[in-house]
Amino acid sequence: MKTNTLPNVTDFSGTILIPVFETYSKSIVPITFNGLEVTSKVFFGKKDTHYLAEKNNNTYVFIGLGKEIDYKSLKTTFRRISSKQKENFSSNVALVIPEQFTHDHVEAMISGLLLGTYDLGHFKSDKNVHPFLEPVFSLNLVSEKDYLSTAKKGIKIAKAQLATYNLVDLPPNTVNPKYLANWAKETGEKYGFDVEVLGYEASKIAGLGAFLAVGKGSENEPQFIIMNYTPTTEVEHVKHVGLVGKGITFDTGGLNIKTAGMLHMKCDMAGGGAVFGAMQLIADLQLPVKVTAIVPCAENSVDAKSFLPSDVIHSYSGHSIEIIDTDAEGRLILADGLSYLIKNFKPEYIVDIATLTGSSVGTFGYECGALFTKNTEMAKKLQENGDAIGERLWPLPLWDAYKSDIESDIADVKNYSGKPVAGAISAAKFLEYFTQEHKAWAHLDVAGVAFGDDEFAKSKHATGYGVHLLTKFIENL
């Protein structure tokens, strides 16, 4: 995609997008642009409305912004325009930038436009080509100011989010652990981060017993994916962030087979998907921070070889775990992911992200992720960065009063309290047990926000939650 700046659209031909703030509907002053007049009877910039006009071979799309704008609604508005007005898009697009827009607003608009090219019909024989996807597409920013680097950033963000949409929405018979390992290797090669993958044998030698227990019932070999991004720019004290993402490519529940909601469980690698997208984006933006990311990938399946409820397994940390429920599998692979990260890489900050519990959905619904950390500075930064882009987080406690939920008689710890209360919190307490009292660890339970319903499809699909949040958090550390 080519981007450049135009001072006006006098000599432009193609599609012209004109964002318009809401004016009074009975205004006698019409909205005018390039000699075109739109009377306020038909269009006055109301949010979620648009108005199309043709003149001199140009298509004008007036886009209603409402009275106030924020990052997320702006992004959605432009995603909608590009997704639902495809037929009105030529491969030459001019985007008029209102004077009062900030760089963040421009970033949101451009990311949204690109996200609108996403087509969920991965396996449809008549997959449509969106003009934006054509090899040579040019986006002309109409402004007196220079927004080019912002535009490029908006494009990079959307490309990373699109990558995550693909990984999460593709079915589990395509996206298995090996697929994710190959994706990581190819993307690392392309964007500039190192990738190491431990398959079954290597994981066994390493002692990743909790990780391997989960994958035992599947035909698809588990893959423990380790990614390392090292900035090329010289920085005096380079910060080091560790990320861990849950990469369950499908969660049947295992022998404690799911009775509800199994259909959607291809989304159970969405935490890992967010980490993959974030790694692409961090490398693409060449952020001056060192990042080590681990995504343990496995399928939780039903088989004679599956791990059993009441099994005692041996984790990488050396601690034994009693399995109360095989459907509490995410915390097992994350336990090994966290221990491996801390032991081998010792990052200063750690964030893990996972579609971990139905309980977090019960608590917050689809509005925010659950945030767990004892580090108040990290909590603040994660929340602030999330708020700025509409990926919200809200805290839940990590009080030791909940510790008894994971105390086992036979082993060091158990993977589930067995009680249908405080599920997200006891899962977080379980993870905490494997963090060696790390002073800057945060856990994000994103079961309610990583995959959901919206206006862009008939069924639930990936939201890309976490890609931008993790990247922005790291960028602003």
Site string for Zn ion, 306-335 (x = CB under 5 A): ------------------------x-----
Residue with smallest beta-carbon separation from ligand BES? 358
Instruction: Tokens for 357, please give them.
Output: 């519990």
- Contact present, 164 and 277 (Cβ < 8 Å): yes
The least distance separating Mg ion from the CB of residue 151, rounded to whole angstroms, comes to 41
Q: Which residue is nearest to Mg ion (CB)?
A: 327
CA distance 267 to 460: 10
299 binds Zn ion (CB under 5 A): no
Which one of residues 327, 336, 352, 391 is an interface residue with Mg ion (CB under 5 A)? 327
Nearest Cα to Cα of residue 353 among 448, 250, 248, 245? 245
For Mg ion, give the closer residue by CB, 251 or 336.
Answer: 251
Residues with a catalytic annotation lie at 258, 331
Q: How far is the CB of 459 from ligand BES (least distance, A)?
A: 14
> Least Å distance between CB 296 and ligand BES?
13
- Cβ 325 to ligand BES, closest distance in Å? 4
Q: Can you spell out the DSSP letters for 68-102?
A: ---HHHHHHHHHHHHHH-GGG--SEEEEE--TT--
**Residue 397 binding target from Mg ion, ligand BES, Zn ion, none, CB below 5 to 8 Å by type:** none
Helix (H, G, I), strand (E, B) or coil at 140: strand
Yes or no: say if 130 and 117 are a contact pair by the CB < 8 Å rule. Answer: yes
Stretch that binds Mg ion, among 58-66, 208-216, 284-292, 320-328 (CB under 5 A): 320-328
Residue 106 to residue 138: CA distance in whole angstroms: 16
Q: Is 251 in the site for Mg ion (CB under 5 A)?
A: yes
| Backbone CA torsion sign across 111, 112, 115, 116 | negative
Maximal C-alpha separation, the chain: 79
Q: What is the dihedral of CA 168, 420, 218, 302, to 10 degrees?
A: -120
| x/- letters, 236..255, toward Zn ion (CB under 5 A) | ------------x--x----
The verdict on 445 binding Zn ion (CB under 5 A) reads no
* Cross-strand pairs, 247: 297
Torsion over CA: 158, 248, 169, 387 (sign): negative
Select from 42-50, 51-59, 160-168, 243-251 the region that touches Mg ion (CB under 5 A): 243-251
Q: Rule CB under 6 A: which residues touch ligand BES?
A: 251, 253, 261, 267-268, 325, 327-330, 355-359, 361, 416, 423, 447
> Which residues make up the interface to Zn ion (CB under 5 A)?
248, 251, 268, 330
Residues lying near Mg ion in the complex (CB under 5 A) are found at: 251, 327, 329
